[in-house]
Amino acid sequence: MVNVVARMEIKPGMLDKFLGILLENARIVRNEDGCLRYDVCRDLEIKDGNDRFVTILESWETEEALRIHQKAPHMQAYRENVRELRLSCTVNVLYPL
């Protein structure tokens, strides 16, 4: 199993548009072969009005399933569609011990 944590900061005023694109894409991802988990999350406690962070928690059966996911046409389209909506994106790939 492979886990992924993707954390993004969204530009001010772009959160609703970003979430619309992301949640539609998430429905497609969850049906991919090898996808065990694809959860879109918001911070539980939002301080100082900073509610622009979104985290995706993913689990994949194999590294190959993750590679196929990353190259899928809908993921390429998703990345292009949100490119101008994000300030930053950090992706960590983790392997359970």
What tens digit of pLDDT does each residue of 34-72 get? 999 999 998 776 666 667 899 999 999 999 999 999 999
Quick one: average pLDDT of 75-82? 97
Distances (CA, A) of 20 to 13, 24, 27, 85: 13, 6, 11, 12
Task: Report the topology of domain 2-89.
Answer: Alpha-Beta Plaits (3.30.70)
* pLDDT score, position 28: 98
The predicted model scores a pTM of: 0.90
Q: Would you call 41 helix, strand, or coil by DSSP? A: strand
Domain residues of the chain, as ranges?
2-89
What tens digit of pLDDT does each residue of 4-39 get? 999 999 999 999 999 999 999 999 999 999 999 999
* pLDDT score, position 46: 65
